[in-house]
Copies of this chain bind each other. A is one copy, B any other.
Amino acid sequence: MRYKLTLAYRGTNYFGWQRQMAVPGFRGQMPAEGEGLPTIQEVTSRAFGHVLGHPVEIVGASRTDARVHAKGQVAHLDTHRREIPIEGLMAAVNHRLPSDVLVRRIQRVDDDFHAIRSTTSKRYQYFIWNSLQRPLFFYDLAWHRWQLLDIAAMRQAAALLVGEHDFASFARAGHGRRTTVRTLLDCSVSRRGGCVVVGVEGTGFLWNMVRIIVGTLVLVGRGRRTPAEVGQMLAAADRRVAGPTAPPHGLFLQWVKSRDIDPGETP
């Protein structure tokens, strides 16, 4: 029996979703950040394993990096246990999980469902704390940029990224993917309180793609690059021409949409 999980977590004290990036062909250095910390996959698998009474291997839709957070990660697991009511399972697992990881939903799905292969689109949010003083209660949840950002210019640049493009300029070297062509469905920039929030929605992403997009949009917001130059960066298909990679701690996996295969037992 396969279950679909919706998970939320604060990534601050984790190595990321999983220890091995499992990027075929990548021989480079693994990210040093978060070395020695547990992974979200480990603590979640352990909690479900304890409650279900057998080892559990949880597969996640997005391999979020160290320090990256999630409001709606999607994952799946298999169990032969049939008698456990979903509400009770969720309460028991949440009771065992550390306070910075939470299961928000458990749904019975068909065996054809797969957290990675059934994903049709994902949305990430990036929070920029745009104020003179650094964030205090949100210091690990937003990137501090004190320079007042020009939202209108950032929006112009963001609009150029929407659609199907070769995002080679916006991918970390060693991504190991056959093609760097991806489709962005949305790239929005808005103010929310003292924050500037960048929302990026797409059918698939390259390694560090959202963080490089944000690093580049911030250059535009500071007037260091024009929106037109972002168009040229995209056309160049060369990582060296785009902006810096924004730090991980402002990034949230907001949601994952998937072809849900509902066996009619979803709560």
Q: How far is the CB of A205 from chain B (nearest CB, A)?
A: 23
- Contact mask for chain A residues 12-49; partner B; CB cutoff 8 A; 1 contact, 0 none: 00000000000000000000000000000000000000
Cβ contacts under 8 Å, A198 to chain B: none
Cβ contacts under 8 Å, A8 to chain B: 136
Please state the number of chain copies in the assembly: 2
- Contact mask for chain A residues 106-138; partner B; CB cutoff 8 A; 1 contact, 0 none: 000000000000000000000000000110110
Determine the distance from Cα of A194 to Cα of B136 in the docked complex, in whole angstroms. Answer: 21
**CB-contact partner of A139 in B69, B100, B133, B137, under 8 A:** B100
Residues of A within 8 A of B (CB): 8-10, 69, 94, 99-102, 104, 133-134, 136-137, 139-141
Which residue of chain B has the shortest Cβ distance to A141 in the bound complex? B137
Contact check, A9 vs B136: say whether CB atoms are below 8 A apart: yes
Determine the distance from Cα of A257 to Cα of B47 in the docked complex, in whole angstroms. Answer: 47
Contact check, A10 vs B136: say whether CB atoms are below 8 A apart: yes
Cβ contacts under 8 Å, A137 to chain B: 10, 69, 141
Contact check, A134 vs B9: say whether CB atoms are below 8 A apart: no
Contact check, A99 vs B134: say whether CB atoms are below 8 A apart: yes
Contact check, A139 vs B104: say whether CB atoms are below 8 A apart: no
12 pairs across A/B with beta carbons < 8 Å? A8-B136, A9-B136, A10-B137, A10-B139, A69-B137, A94-B133, A94-B134, A99-B134, A99-B136, A99-B139, A102-B134, A102-B136
Cβ contacts under 8 Å, A136 to chain B: 8-10, 99-102
